[in-house]
Chains A and B, each alone.
Chain A
Amino acid sequence: GAVVSQHPSRVICKSGTSVKIECRSLDFQATTMFWYRQFPKQSLMLMATSNEGSKATYEQGVEKDKFLINHASLTLSTLTVTSAHPEDSSFYICSARDPNTEAFFGQGTRLTVV
């Protein structure tokens, strides 16, 4: 199957700093990428949908100014958590698809804000 690479897999940052997470589709062009957040022992919560070259569509309740999403190319989307706080600590997962495939998922990023 297609490969989606997410980086970093783990990151620890101080409160008030920003963290960038990258999601790359390695062997296909991802017209759409999705960003999810997952709390322990819970399901995936969709944060936003991004289409290449256009602004991301955020789900209700997700702060767009806090979770900045950029999808500048067909193989790369980034999620930046701005001014991170301990409550932003979570597992973030991206997925990518083109119109003809199902979504493939990255390995996830464990963010810990101290």
Chain B
Amino acid sequence: AQSVTQLGSHVSVSEGALVLLRCNYSSSVPPYLFWYVQYPNQGLQLLLKYTSAATLVKGINGFEAEFKKSETSFHLTKPSAHMSDAAEYFCAVRGNQGGKLIFGQGTELSVKP
């Protein structure tokens, strides 16, 4: 079975500070991993994905994530937070049955001026 755990339901940073959102996964097969962002009352937008190519994945809006097999982690980072980054972030792993996504619990990112 596959699963995803996001550490911290809420993260608060100051504008310009480093953003670090943590995600650990469990998978019996090489995983496909994703980070999505959700703004209030909207669907999910794909930030980036890992599909067994480069371990450092660059996404949209300046976000990137590094796949670390030894740590079973796929943490999301951004060097400098913007106010517009305030949103809910979900880490997900693609299941090996029908391609459905298994989501973490989500992390709400707040950015203080």
A 94-114 binary contact with B (CB < 8 Å = 1; else 0): 010101001111111010000
Smallest CB-CB separation from A104: which chain B residue? B46
Q: In the complex, A4→B45 CA distance in Å?
A: 11
Q: Which of A11-19, A38-46, A73-81 participates in binding chain B?
A: A38-46
Smallest CB-CB separation from B60: which chain A residue? A1
Flag whether B101 is at the interface (Cβ < 8 A): yes
Take A43-B90, A107-B42 as given contacts and tell me if A102 and B100 are in contact as well, using a CB distance cutoff of 8 Å: no
A 24-55 binary contact with B (CB < 8 Å = 1; else 0): 00000000101000000111101001000000
Flag whether A84 is at the interface (Cβ < 8 A): no
Residues of B within 8 Å of A107, CB to CB, are: 42-43
Residues of A within 8 Å of B41, CB to CB, are: 9, 91, 108, 110
B20 CB, nearest partner CB in chain A, Å: 20
B 78-113 binary contact with A (CB < 8 Å = 1; else 0): 000000000000100010001111011110100000
B100 contacts A46, CB within 8 Å?
yes
Interface band, chain A: 20 to 34
Residues of B within 8 Å of A4, CB to CB, are: 43
Residues of B within 8 Å of A57, CB to CB, are: 98
A105 contacts B44, CB within 8 Å?
yes
B44 contacts A93, CB within 8 Å?
yes
Q: In the complex, A84→B94 CA distance in Å?
A: 31
Smallest CB-CB separation from A99: which chain B residue? B99
Residue from the set A43, A57, A97, A105 with the largest chain B CB neighbour count within 10 Å: A43
Residues of B within 8 Å of A43, CB to CB, are: 90, 103-106
CB pairs A–B below 8 angstroms (27 shown): A1-B46, A4-B43, A6-B43, A9-B41, A32-B98, A32-B99, A41-B108, A43-B103, A43-B104, A43-B106, A44-B44, A46-B100, A57-B98, A91-B41, A93-B43, A95-B44, A95-B101, A97-B99, A102-B46, A102-B49, A103-B101, A105-B36, A106-B43, A107-B43, A108-B42, A108-B43, A110-B41
